[in-house]
Structure 1
């Protein structure tokens, strides 16, 4: 992705205008940057030099390596640790990291078991709890990255960690998604490279956030391999949602058809893991896409199909389906009715089960 597109996505993720970004840089660094120059960067008419890359890194709260398009092992070790330290007491994280280094840390099989557990727990735990747990794991896995297989583990942990930073912290989510993709590249595992990018694309597309990054990651996944897989399915659906949010109806529907063909070849039977896309979850993705496009009849059909197989242990996803109906009402012109419907559904779910994605859906309905 061109540096200009990334700057724009990071700026918009924070809800800033070009003028606001210029003002933030000027306040912090005493420069005289103008809105017009920001515009020239974003339109790729000129690229920021090393000094302004450092400025942008600071005010947008994104690692400099992400802006430069390079994440090397030492960068990951230092910057991931710095970002992960906020949710957990620093002394506990330091002790965990040194203990892991001295003892050798979990085996590769042990890490895969941990990932399987997190994949299941993600489906029901709140964002704060996931963030707290994954932060500690990231500190541990940093000590073992001499083994390329552990880059695969790290990339998937980073993927889960990224999903705890949407909304007002969208720039953090973007930086973690991009680092996760580059960590996957370090593993040399093609399947993981596709899955990480595809999962990031559907996360951003579903949330309607940083659409340029969603498209970029989806395109990368599709270029790595066109073999049907869950990663490819996620990538195509992420790109479809980005098209729907932009109002590109034809592209969204065409991508949905392509995704359905990939699902037929690669859909999973596992019901309760973030690494799985069973029939009910495919219908959750489809429901919101069609709701955004105003395809009310087909959206309701997708919602009904999802409910038939949705495990009772996953009430959060039932709330997603209800909030999709709020999106439909709002898109049909009944904004107040849509807000009331979505708010009622969200309030029925215990607060500890809330995800930041649900809150972003509420914001979408509210306009």
Structure 2
């Protein structure tokens, strides 16, 4: 493992942004670093010299010899970091859980406020930060499940938590999506039952992973919510459409796209920056990738332009999604090298802390364009 990768993983293990690491170094050693300089370390643009390695050793609490030695770096994350960080994390989670039980925990209104906040933050924060924070919330809400309404809260938290794992990892992401669905059933809240299944389906279908699971969850959402159009139903339809496109069933994918646009006309969101919302620009992000996968270049470009016209400036990660869709179109039209280069350029332009697991999976799809991805 190279030193740049180790720095990035140590930073993420602590839940720090690049700016936070720069701040910690400046505070401890009087340096004048900024987020961009840390980013250059992590992107292999600059290699930290001996002085900065000593600073990093102290701030990240890692032996200097590990930073200097390739063999030691290779083994350190799985051994020393796990041993030193895990007890601290476990202690914090245990304390949070018992405090929730002893003190009664947040009210249902408080939980709904937390969900709204996480729905907004998910759109711009990195997966590691969201995962760390929601794990604590799940421990807390677990202590309050004698209140049936909180099963709905728990199911929606689980769905966001699942999104922090790669969909191709059937033992983690899919496990949490299935648990979220069962938890929503405990709430007897049909809106939550449809939403968690639909959100899981679009996540897996969009990522091109565990397509069998995406289909099952989509079908369940469609069965539960068929009589009442909702954003959960909309997500389920597009999850199933992406799965069909990746299997080469263009007719089914196009029929679902038509159905999805009709549901959007009745349920589309005015809220622009929440994971719980599907405004017009986000619908077109769904459609842009779907049509690129179907080889419909004209339709995909129109969807990309429609999405860009309304995409909030504070959500650059989704602009990168659109560029990756263009890269996929190039690759599928025969210019595989150009498509991959376009994708890499788009990823390099996005600050590393805003990269998501889904973006990385799209890059993988572009690099191997032409095949389908199946799982679970």
Inter-partner Cα distance in structure 1 for 2:249 and 2:126? 33
- Mapping for residues 64-213 of structure 1, pairs under 5 Å: 89-166=89-166, 169-213=169-213
**2-side partners of 1:219 and 1:96: how far apart?**
37
Contact 2:168 2:210 in 1 (8 A): no
Q: CA deviation at 1:335?
A: 1.0
Deviation at residue 267 of structure 1 after TM alignment: 0.6
Aligned-residue offset at 1:99:
1.0
1:362 matched to which residue of 2?
Answer: 363
Give 1:352 deviation, angstroms: 0.4
Give the Cα–Cα distance (whole angstroms) in 2 for the partners of residues 207 and 168 of structure 1.
Answer: 8
Q: How far is the alpha carbon of 1:169 from its aligned partner? A: 2.9
By how many angstroms is 1:259 displaced? 0.3
- Looking at structure 1, the residues matched to 195 and 87 of structure 2 have their Cα atoms a distance apart, in angstroms, of 26
Q: 1:244-283, aligned counterparts within 5 Å?
A: 244-283=245-284
| Secondary structure, aligned partner of 1:144 | coil
Check conservation: 1:88, 1:132, Cα contact below 8 A: no
Distance 1:251 1:94 in 2: 48
Is the partner of 2:325 in helix, strand or coil? helix
Max Rg structure: 2
Work out whether residues 168 and 209 of structure 2, in 8 Å CA contact, stay in contact via their aligned partners in 1. Answer: no
What is the aligned length?
Answer: 283
Deviations, residues 172-210 of structure 1 (Å, cap 9, x unaligned): 000000000000000000011000100000000000000
Deviations 1:210-231 (A, max 9, x none): 0000000000000002121100
Task: Decide whether the 8 Å contact of 1:119 with 1:273 is kept in 2.
Answer: yes
Q: Cα–Cα, structure 1 residues 190 and 360, in superposed 2: closer, same or farther, change >3 Å?
A: same
Measured against aligned partners, the alpha-carbon deviations of 1:45-100 in whole angstroms (never above 9, x if no partner) come to xxxxxxxxxxxxxxxxxxxxxxxxxxxxxxxxxxxxxxxx9697111111111111
Distance 1:214 1:185, change over 3 A: same
- Contact kept, 8 Å, 2:167 with 2:204, in 1: the verdict is no
Partner of 1:337: 338
Aligned ranges 1:217-296 → 2 under 5 Å:
217-226=217-226, 227-296=228-297
Structure 1 gaps of 5+ residues are: 1-84
Conserved 8 A contact 2:205-2:211 = yes
Question: Would you say the 8 A contact 1:88–1:135 is kept in 2?
Answer: no
Normalised TM-score (structure 2): 0.74
Change (3 A) 1:87 1:315: farther
C-alpha contact 2:221 2:233 (8 A) present in aligned 1:
yes
Distance change in 2, residues 1:87/1:204 (3 Å): farther
Q: Tell me, in whole angstroms, the C-alpha distance in 1 between the residues paired with 2:322 and 2:281.
A: 11
Alpha-carbon distance change, 190 to 86 in structure 1, aligned in 2, over 3 angstroms: farther
Equivalence for 1:309? 310
Unpaired segments ≥5 residues, structure 2: 1-84, 369-376
**Secondary structure in 1 matching 2:219:** helix
Q: Which whole-Å CA distance do the structure 2 matches of 1:98 and 1:322 have between them?
A: 46
CA distance in 2, matches of 1:309, 1:88: 43
Determine if contact 2:324/2:363 at 8 Å carries over to the other structure: yes
Post-superposition CA distance 1:147-184 (Å, at most 9, x none): 01000000000000000111563320000000000000
In 2, Cα distance between the equivalents of 1:170 and 1:344? 30
Query: In 1, Cα distance between the equivalents of 2:97 and 2:171?
Result: 26
* Conserved 8 A contact 1:123-1:272: yes
Q: 1:314-356: per-residue Cα shift (whole Å, max 9, x none)?
A: 0000000000001101111111111000010011000000110
Which residue of the partner structure matches residue 5 of structure 1? none
Please say if residues 163 and 203 of structure 2, whose CA atoms lie closer than 8 Å, have aligned partners that are also in contact: yes
CA distance in 1, matches of 2:220, 2:167: 24
